[in-house]
């Protein structure tokens, strides 16, 4: 139990550091993390994903954060393989 509390305190402290806050506001970093989570999510079908992290849920969280920062993935009338991250416009998929 002590170990859990210590890990929890260290984890919370790490998440509140300026570096973490900066990465959550840096679109390039978020896109990199999104891509990594996407690759893990696609590769996890049929596998046993780690119990502490679901890469598909992580990908969704990164997508939401990027949308909050004004970035969109894909545009109307594009095929899925053409989708890419870009500054949101009126033709963007949200």
Q: Does residue 22 register a pLDDT over 90? A: no
Could you tell me which of 36, 52, 34, 55 has the C-alpha nearest to residue 44? Answer: 55
Q: Which residues are CB-neighbours of 91 under 8 A, at least 6 positions away?
A: 75, 76, 77
What is the pLDDT averaged over residues 4-29? 58
pLDDT for the residue numbered 44:
62
pTM greater than 0.75: no
DSSP state of 17: S
The C-alpha angle 28, 47, 73, rounded to 5 degrees, equals 25
Pair of tokens at residue 40: 């893990």
* Domain residue ranges in the chain: 26-87
């Amino acid at each position: 139990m002590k170990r859990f509390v210590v890990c929890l305190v260290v984890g919370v402290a790490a998440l509140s550091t300026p570096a973490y806050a900066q990465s959550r506001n840096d679109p390039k970093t978020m896109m990199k993390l999104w891509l990594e989570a996407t690759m893990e999510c696609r590769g996890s079908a049929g596998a046993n994903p780690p119990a502490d992290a679901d890469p598909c849920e992580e990908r969704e969280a990164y997508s939401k954060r990027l949308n909050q920062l004004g970035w969109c993935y894909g545009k109307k009338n594009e095929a899925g393989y053409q989708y890419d991250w870009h500054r949101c416009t009126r033709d963007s998929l949200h």
